[in-house]
Structure 1
Amino acid sequence: MIAGSEETRLVVVRGNSASGKSCVAAGIRERFGRGLALVGQDNLRRIVLRERDVPGGANIGLIDTVARYALDAGYHVVVEGILHADRYGDMLAGLLGGHRGVSRCYYLDIPIEETLVRHSSKADLEYLTQVTERELRDWYRERDLLPGGLETVVGADSALTDTVERIMHDTGLAGLPARVD
């Protein structure tokens, strides 16, 4: 199914829990301004559906539907989440392949020790008590890349601002105007 236009941009940001995906997505939106939709896996799966991350989960189709709807409405879209390759890979490949405009996919490749440091710096104390080091280690998947070389791998040595700027330039978002309405 085709989505968006030649002018819309689609960005996918994936990685392990606490790798910085949400911060990168928020940074892109802040840098771009109005006209960029954030499609967050956690929001749709945990908040909207209150669903566990399971193979064939309803959130997979919902992420695809929301991203396509926003693209068709003329928004640029950032899809962000853990989005494990074995569960979300087919949906992401279809979304990326079906988008008329520029599409880019990034994987934040952060070692487990750095992941633990980043997690401990989160401001949400309730979340920190719910998600412990044990869970992070259990959930961690090393280099869970999508097949076919679809992703640009971003390492722990790339600062948040550098990662945001790289994505802004790679996708052409840096040279596009934000919406004024």
Structure 2
Amino acid sequence: MRAALAAGLALTLATQAVAGVPEGYHRVAQAEGVPADVLYALAAAESGARLSTGAARPWPWTLNVGGRPERYRTYREALDALERHLAAGKRNIDIGLMQVNWRWHEARLQDPARALDPYRNLRIGAAILREQYERSGHWLEASGLYHAPSNTTNAARHRARVQHHLEALP
């Protein structure tokens, strides 16, 4: 049942009309005290997959292993791949919609199945974004720090990607 709900959410989150930010992002953003548009733009910058229309949408079954992106069609495929990578001793893995890094946030993610749960992944990502906002005092700057908290060059580059996705919102 949980897998079916997660799959339904993933479809909703991944195929939401261009008209705006999907409802799931609004709910998580409100609960975590972050702006929904920034959360959605950050997810698009982190896990965005190009649709046939050319638009980028966050994709929940995305992994990034040592800098190499991997996208899967289903939760099960992504989970199997994540478990294989972890069994092989890999730890520098970004996971899910918000590309939460296993090495730095294993305690928050808890286990591979939970790490790939779209709502849980969004909540963890929103909490990290909120922490970076508390550090910087500015949401867009926080979005750059989310990806690279100790590297100002990478943070600026990532902030620009998030800004691009924000500007693309209707």
TM-score, length-scaled by structure 2: 0.27
Structure showing greater relative contact order (alpha-carbon pairs closer than 8 Å, 6 or more residues apart): 1
Say which structure is richer in strand.
Answer: 1
TM-score, length-scaled by structure 1: 0.26
Say which structure is richer in helix.
Answer: 2
Structure 1 or 2, whichever has the larger Rg, is 1
